[in-house]
Amino acid sequence: MVRWRVGLQWYAVALLLPIVVTLTAAVLNVFLLGAERTSTAAELGGLSSFLSMFFLWLLIPGLAGTWEEPGFRGYALPRLQVGRSALLASLILGVLWAFWHLPFVATGEDIRIDAFFFPIIWSPVYAWLFNYASGSVLIVMLFHNMNNSFSSGFVGQMFSGADSVNQAWLRLALWGVVAIVVVVVYGSQHLSRKHRKQEEPVQTEVSTASPRVV
């Protein structure tokens, strides 16, 4: 979480890619599917409201999914990548991550698209970012937080009913395109051209038994 020297380009990816995907989905929703916005950015408080939400969700554990990352990417992914391709490891983690959201579906706080399909589709993109950023949990925390705060907390509030569901499907499709591009361009083995996948070192067991006397 304190590995922050990873290059400015990865901060740009973490902060801008979710905005580009979300805005593209919103434009397609309005102009292609005829969605009607129920509120505007100004009515939601504008930039100041969004920035307040972004930093609150980033800094306070429990408010959003940001603090899942030390567990999912910081702990689980390096272990799953031992002996597996980065793509396979990310998909396994994506399934586990999807079931993590089951309580949100049961309580009605989340729709099935966001809870089950998104984590599986997103997971290779997270693994690509994590591996390319030298295992920086901070970068994937920023990525996760920007997606949640901008997509769900801000733009998502501009649509309701069927338009909101269509927005979710469009975002899912676009993230699917991003995931496919990442796999094709960077390869499934490491999801990175310059770095090997992040792996947890295998600990060698040392016997503590007393030597036998013959």
Task: Kindly give the parts of the chain with pLDDT less than 70.
Answer: 106-112, 201-214
pLDDT at 103: 78
Contacts of 198 (CB under 8 A, 6+ apart): 77, 78, 81, 130, 131, 134, 135
Cα–Cα distance measured from residue 46 to residue 138, given in angstroms and rounded to the nearest whole number: 26
Cα–Cα distance measured from residue 145 to residue 67, given in angstroms and rounded to the nearest whole number: 9
Cα–Cα distance measured from residue 147 to residue 93, given in angstroms and rounded to the nearest whole number: 19
User: How many other C-beta atoms lie within 10 A of the C-beta of residue 178?
Assistant: 17
Longest Cα separation, the chain: 85
Cα–Cα distance measured from residue 185 to residue 140, given in angstroms and rounded to the nearest whole number: 20
pLDDT at 185: 95
pLDDT at 204: 47
Q: What is the pLDDT of residues 110-162, one digit of tens each?
A: 666 777 788 999 999 999 999 999 899 999 999 999 999 998 889 988 998 89
C-alpha 151 chain-centroid distance? 12
Residues listed for the chain: 214
Identity (one letter) of the amino acid at 56? L
pLDDT at 179: 97
Identity (one letter) of the amino acid at 92? I
Contacts of 20 (CB under 8 A, 6+ apart): none
The backbone torsions φ and ψ at residue 27, rounded to the nearest 5 degrees and listed phi first, read -65, -45
Task: Tell me the domain boundaries of the chain.
Answer: 8-186
Cα–Cα distance measured from residue 122 to residue 199, given in angstroms and rounded to the nearest whole number: 20
Q: Please give the mean pLDDT across all residues of the chain.
A: 87
pLDDT at 109: 57
